[in-house]
Amino acid sequence: MRSNGPIERDLAGSAVSGGDAGGAVGDAREAEFQALIEADQRIEPRDWMPDAYRKTLIRQIAQHAHSEIIGMQPEGNWITRAPSLRRKAILMAKVQDEAGHGLYLYCAAETLGVDRSELIDLLHQGRQKYSSIFNYPTLTYADVGAIGWLVDGAAITNQIPLCRCSFGPYARAMVRVCKEESFHQRQGFELLYALSHGTPEQHEMAQDAVNRWWWPSLEMLGPPDTESTHSAQSMAWGIKRFSNDELRQRFVDMVAPQAVVLDLVPPDPALRWNEERGHYDFGPCDFEELRRVVSGDGPCNRQRAAHHLKAHEDGAWVRAAAAAYAAKHAASAAA
């Protein structure tokens, strides 16, 4: 009547697992699942859920986790060359947060019955993806500012609605992530503001970073609604709350007036306030480029994947040593 096992973990293949519940029992479970979704209740790991819901969540949460971990690389690149001790402490804290966010998310994915090591293998085999944005290079320290302001700004726009995602552990992880992410955006804004109001060379450096990160940040919110493959079902399941295009509009509306305060000009001649719509108009994104970067052909895809694999392999002896130490002490405690 009770099951031993991880508190927040579905035991893969056990009776509570979805999909195999056929006939009347299956129908009743499906109906109960639907009723919970429609009542805007949360689904918890050991509840029955359709296989496709579970698979969609594993794919999305793993991709999100990988993005946080791969996302440490572009900025980590600058830690040793930070312009001041203050900036260095901030950047280290930020990159450490990204590691933490990755771990919250792997933890949420694991409640669905997969193991983190399986997900990391899938990443290394190129069978799971991460956000397109981390395949762009960071050429100057101003990029740290542009990433904080634009990339983290876009991420927050995407993540705030995920705090109400129908899957409990994912939603709870996102609440934590969003709380921490707002420091990321503010430090980026402050950095760009300092550069923009510094020497003409510094201003130019900030403008150059914004020129390079603007479009990729808009594109990272996903393909247009007309081409988005997973959107409709994810909306019906309460995993996704707003469409990619709605999120993109929300993001542009947020950052366009901030660019004025920064005294930096987004590289989009079509960007202007539309009184009638009550929103900013903006030019078309290059979704062909997004497709190219997502499918592995961005400026840094190979470098990012190779670096992650190397770090993982270089760390193998640490994991082996810690496991051996734990095994030895468990044995001597038992003796």
Half-sphere exposure of 331 (CA within 13 A, CB side): 6
Residue 315 touches another protein, criterion: CB under 8 A: no
Q: Which of 19, 100, 161, 224 binds another protein (CB under 8 A)?
A: 100
Question: Could you tell me the smallest distance in angstroms from the CB atom of residue 241 to another protein?
Answer: 23
Q: Which is nearer to another protein, 51 or 115 (CB)?
A: 115
Residue 184 touches another protein, criterion: CB under 8 A: no
Burial class (CB in 10 A: 0-12, 13-18, 19+), 140: middle
Report phi then psi at 283, rounded to 5. Answer: -75, 170
Residue 116 touches another protein, criterion: CB under 8 A: yes
Contact between 69 and 98 under an 8 Å Cβ cutoff? The reply is: yes
Question: Could you tell me the smallest distance in angstroms from the CB atom of residue 35 to another protein?
Answer: 13
DSSP class per residue in 97-118: HHHHHHHHHHHHHHTTT--HHH
Question: Could you tell me the smallest distance in angstroms from the CB atom of residue 267 to another protein?
Answer: 35
- Identify which of 249, 236, 245, 305 has the alpha carbon closest to the alpha carbon of residue 277: 249
Q: Which is nearer to another protein, 99 or 261 (CB)?
A: 99
Half-sphere exposure of 317 (CA within 13 A, CB side): 2
Please state, in angstroms and rounded to a whole number, the distance separating the CA atoms of residues 220 and 294.
Answer: 10
Q: Which is nearer to another protein, 3 or 233 (CB)?
A: 3
Q: Which of residues 149-178 bind another protein (CB under 8 A)?
A: 169, 172-173
Burial class (CB in 10 A: 0-12, 13-18, 19+), 155: buried
Binding segment (CB under 8 A) for another protein, from list 101-109, 201-209, 216-224, 271-279:
101-109
Residue 325 touches another protein, criterion: CB under 8 A: yes
Q: Which of 27, 115, 204, 286 binds another protein (CB under 8 A)?
A: 115
Residue 117: CB atoms within 10 A of its CB come to 10
Q: Containing H/E element for 66?
A: helix 51-70
Q: Which is nearer to another protein, 48 or 134 (CB)?
A: 48
Residue 83 touches another protein, criterion: CB under 8 A: no
Q: Which is nearer to another protein, 111 or 132 (CB)?
A: 111
Residue 322 touches another protein, criterion: CB under 8 A: yes
- Residues of this chain that interact with another protein (CB under 8 A) are 1-9, 15-16, 44, 46-48, 93, 96-97, 100, 103-104, 107-108, 110-111, 115-117, 169, 172-173, 180, 319-320, 322-323, 325-326, 329-330
